[in-house]
């Protein structure tokens, strides 16, 4: 797809979904990191229920580093995959203390060194925790829509992110994640996209493809 058509799609979607939506609830970079790790294969609504108590119980990076893993697994059990998530969060906290002076790193390279952190998580922490836009977070909605509407032919999240970064001007990078999520939830859902209601139906090369 040529760049002018990609930009037109983004502009139409930005007009449709004007107000940025933050789906996970957090108030600092550490909470952003924890919530995003917990969100893997779990709904944002469930994560927000869990973190409401979790963030009161564990307030500092040292609280997480010192956590008893069995107790922590119970605390996050309902988010699924709690064994790996607990291990990654506790080990990430330990590494933040040992390697980053007790502060969540504010660079892509630093974040990618932490257990359980891939580019999607790192992008979310950078943008929402530090106001830095270094890439585009590719979750399941972004992945599905990027392929369906012709923004990328790849299935690997890192390659999809690369395609999006090459075709979308950087000033749109922050918004693209949430507008594709909103469009994916409201219209272009996985099982039965509502193509007749889609504001980009005239621009979509794969309209109706499931």
pLDDT tens for each residue of 159-194: 999 999 999 999 999 889 889 999 998 999 988 899
Chain Cα centroid distance, residue 107: 16
pLDDT at 20: 65
Active site residue 134: no
Contact (Cβ atoms closer than 8 angstroms) between residue 181 and residue 124: no
Whether residue 83 sits in one domain with residue 49: yes
pTM (2 decimals)? 0.89
Active site residue 68: no
Asked whether residue 203 is domain-assigned, the answer is no
Given 75, 134, 139, 163, the catalytic residue: 139
Whether residue 125 sits in one domain with residue 96: yes
113, 130, 147 - which closes a domain: 130
Q: Percent of the chain beyond pLDDT 70?
A: 96
Tokens 């002018």, residue?
4
Tens of pLDDT, residues 116-144? 999 999 999 999 999 999 999 999 889 99
43: left (phi over 0), alpha (psi -120 to 50) or beta: beta
Choice between 208 and 6, residue whose per-residue pLDDT is larger: 6
Q: Is 19 helix (H, G, I), strand (E, B) or coil?
A: coil
Whether residue 43 sits in one domain with residue 126: yes
Whether residue 170 sits in one domain with residue 117: no
User: Which residue, among 155, 127, 158, 121, has the nearest Cα to 47 in the 3D structure?
Assistant: 121
Tens of pLDDT, residues 50-96? 999 999 999 999 999 999 999 999 999 999 999 999 999 999 999 99
pLDDT at 23: 84
Whether residue 103 sits in one domain with residue 89: yes
Counting the structural domains of the chain, the total is 2
In sequence order, which residues have a C-beta less than 8 Å from that of residue 95 and are 6 or more positions away?
Answer: 113, 114, 115
Domain that holds residue 82: 29-130
Residue 164 to residue 204: CA distance in whole angstroms: 16
Evaluate if residue 1 carries a pLDDT over 70.
no
Given 75, 85, 120, 134, the catalytic residue: 120
CATH number of 168's domain: 1.10.1670.10
91, 107, 130 - which closes a domain: 130
> Average model confidence (pLDDT) for the chain?
92
Whether residue 175 sits in one domain with residue 118: no
72, 95, 130 - which closes a domain: 130
User: Which residue, among 191, 203, 197, 205, has the nearest Cα to 153 in the 3D structure?
Assistant: 205
Whether residue 125 sits in one domain with residue 38: yes
Contact (Cβ atoms closer than 8 angstroms) between residue 104 and residue 30: yes
Evaluate if residue 209 carries a pLDDT over 60.
no
pLDDT at 206: 65
CATH number of 106's domain: 1.10.340.30
């Amino acid at each position: 797809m040529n760049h002018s058509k990609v930009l037109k799609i983004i502009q139409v979607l930005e007009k449709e979904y004007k107000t940025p939506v933050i789906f996970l609830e957090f108030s600092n970079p550490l909470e952003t990191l924890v919530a995003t790790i917990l969100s893997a294969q779990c709904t944002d609504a469930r994560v927000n229920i869990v973190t409401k108590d979790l963030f009161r119980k564990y307030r500092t990076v040292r609280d997480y580093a010192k956590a008893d893993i069995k107790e922590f697994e119970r605390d996050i059990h309902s988010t699924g995959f709690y064994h790996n998530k607990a291990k990654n969060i506790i080990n990430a906290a330990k590494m933040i203390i040992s390697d980053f002076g007790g502060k969540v790193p504010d660079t892509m390279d630093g974040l990618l060194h932490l257990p359980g952190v891939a580019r999607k998580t790192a992008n979310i922490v950078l943008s929402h925790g530090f106001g830095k836009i270094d890439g585009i977070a590719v979750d399941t909605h972004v992945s599905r829509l990027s392929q369906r509407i012709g923004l990328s032919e790849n299935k690997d999240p890192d390659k999809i992110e690369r395609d999006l970064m090459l075709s979308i001007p950087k000033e749109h990078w922050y918004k693209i994640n949430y507008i594709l999520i909103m469009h994916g939830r409201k219209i272009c859902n996985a099982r039965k996209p509502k193509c007749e209601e889609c504001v980009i139906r005239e621009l979509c090369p794969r309209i109706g493809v499931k």
